[in-house]
Amino acid sequence: MIAVFAPGQGSQTPGMLTPWLDLPGVTERVGAFSEVTGLDLLRLGTTADADEIKDTAVTQPLLVALGVIVAEQLGLDASGERVVAGHSVGELTAAAVSGALRGEDAVAFAARRGAAMAAACALTPTGMAALLGGDPDEVAAAIEAAGLVPANRNGAGQIVAAGSLDDLEKLAAEPPAGARVRPLAVAGAFHTHYMASAEETLASFADQIDIADPRPILLSNADGRAVTTGGDLIARLVRQVTLPVRWDLCLATCRDLGVTAALELAPGGTLTGIAKRELPGVELLAIKTPDDLAAAGRLMDSRPQHGQGEHFLPFRMVVTPVKGVFTPVEGLTEGDRVRNGQPLGVVRTNRDEHAIVAPIDGVLDEWLRHDGDIVGAGLPLVRISDGDH
């Protein structure tokens, strides 16, 4: 299985749109995205300097716009067996790649998100700092003991602390054992309670957006779990601004799913750098310029996708959103026809149970897990074909 990663804030560089404008249709797409955001993304992505594009209100829509454009150039759509995940604002790019959001809506959401987070940053002087090295649990405990929040747990020995500037200074003066502290040039404490006003703004904006169920497996920053419905996804995208980013759990789910290759959409490099350590043996490719598209295409073509192969049957994998014990619906067997929304079973945890339903009308091809099996978040339970082949 191949994974597609979408980078977040901090990966932007001046002029990052420039090389892409030579490709057919890209200038027009940038124009469309500028219209829905009210920003001149063409200028911001070509001639604006580093200081201007590090503004949160600018960075976020610019990154999502580029990610969506690159995904379109690669022909990534809602078909194909793959896993998709984005870091922080990159989760909006991932939502577009999964077919849950239109590209225009993902970029518009990013613009509203960036503006709301910038406004929240202006309310209280806050910041973020990366802690590199040390025991992850001990580092996280030290961050919390300092009155800060472990806002990003990225894996590869990197945890980002967020909170008041005074508390960040104290942590830098007395870092946890084996860790070094590197202040980050950001506007405030993202993914903490300091972004509560931004969450409120996005909750209102989200009601105006059409959202579909993700088709490829889409992993959530909140817990690394697969998101199976559009309703759950939009709620998570709203809450994401105040919740820590658990990229480490997204990568753990990729391991559980047996990911063998991963490509990072432009401006790539950060997430594949983390994956080198966290996903040993996985083939990695960071897309930085249009020159990387050919290699990305070869990487995708080397792994089976929907529509490839003379005898290939289009299908959907139904995955579990949580870790628990699976119980299928009694009497439902392989070869039976199922309807969109029909119950297939439940996954029970220690606290509650989660209904598993058919995402399409089709034929139940194969049970991949059986009654009483312990299943991990994001793992496939059943394969359903469209029944037309």
Same domain, 92 and 76: yes
Q: Is the pLDDT of residue 305 over 60?
A: no
CATH of the domain at 341: 2.40.50.100
What CATH number is given to the structural domain containing 81?
3.40.366.10
The reply to whether 229 falls in a domain is yes
Nearest to 157, CA basis, from 135, 127, 173, 140:
135
Burial 372-387 (b: 16+ CB within 10 A, else e): ebebbbbbbbbbbbeb
Please write the tens of the pLDDT for every residue from 313-359: 356 778 887 788 999 999 999 999 998 778 999 999 888 888 888 87
CA gap 268, 338 in Å, rounded: 40
Cα–Cα dist 264/295, whole Å = 12
76 or 130, greater pLDDT: 130
Of 76, 89, 102, give the one whose Cα is nearest residue 4.
76
Give residue 372's pLDDT: 93
pLDDT, residue 355, reads 85
For residue 305, give both structure tokens: 């996708």
Judgement on whether residues 37 and 178 belong to the same structural domain of the protein:
no
On average, the pLDDT of the chain sits at 91
Check whether residue 333 and residue 352 sit in a common domain.
yes
- The number of angstroms, rounded, from the C-alpha of 148 to the middle of its chain's C-alpha atoms is 24
Residue 19, pLDDT > 80, answer yes
382 beta partners: 318, 367
Q: How confident is the model at residue 365 (pLDDT cuts 50, 70, 90)?
A: confident
In a domain, 307, yes or no: no
Domain hosting residue 136, numbered range: 123-184
Is-contact 327 372, C-beta < 8 A?
yes
Tell the residue number behind the tokens 């594949």, with chain if given. 272
Which residue type does 97 have? V
The pLDDT of 180-196, averaged and rounded, is 94
- Residue 80's pLDDT band, with cuts at 50, 70 and 90, is low
Assess whether 249 and 163 both reside in one domain: no
347 and 251 both lie in a single domain:
no
State the pLDDT at residue 309: 36
Contact 321, 231 (CB under 8 A): no
Average pLDDT on 111-131 reads 96
Which tokens hold the place of 123? Answer: 């309310």
Q: Are 179 and 143 in the same domain? A: yes
Out of 252, 269, 301, a domain closes at 301
What is the reported pLDDT for 78? Answer: 65
In a domain, 309, yes or no: no
Same domain? 133 vs 73: no
Give yes or no: residues 236 and 351 share one domain: no
Over the stretch 213-256, which tens digit does the pLDDT of each residue have? 998 889 999 999 889 889 999 999 999 999 999 999 999 989 88
Name the nearest CA neighbour of 26 among 317, 311, 289: 289
Residue 356 host element (H or E) = strand 353-357
Q: Is the pLDDT of residue 389 over 50?
A: no
What is the pLDDT at residue 312?
A: 36
**145: Cβ contacts below 8 Å, ≥ 6 apart:** none
Which of 132, 162, 184 is a domain's end point? 184
Residue 148 and residue 256 in one domain: no
Mean pLDDT of 282-287: 96
Q: Where are the alpha helices (DSSP H) in 45-102?
A: 50-53, 56-74, 90-97
For the domain that residue 151 is a member of, what is the CATH number?
A: 3.30.70.250
The verdict on whether 306 is a catalytic residue reads no
Active site residue 164: no
Tell how far CA 137 is from the center of its chain.
24
Per-residue pLDDT band at 284 (split at 50, 70, 90) = very high
Number of domains in the chain: 3
Query: Of these residues, 88, 98, 220, 306, which one is catalytic?
Result: 88
Verify that 291 and 239 share a domain, yes or no.
Answer: yes
Asked if 238 and 290 sit in the same domain, the reply is yes
In a domain, 232, yes or no: yes
- Look at 80-94, 96-110, 275-289, 314-328 and tell me which has the smallest mean pLDDT: 314-328
Residues 104 and 165 in one domain: no
What 3-state class would DSSP assign to 48? coil
Share of the chain above pLDDT 90, in %: 75
Last residue of a domain, one of 272, 301, 330: 301
Instruction: Kindly name the residue from 34, 87, 191, 306 that is annotated as catalytic.
Output: 191
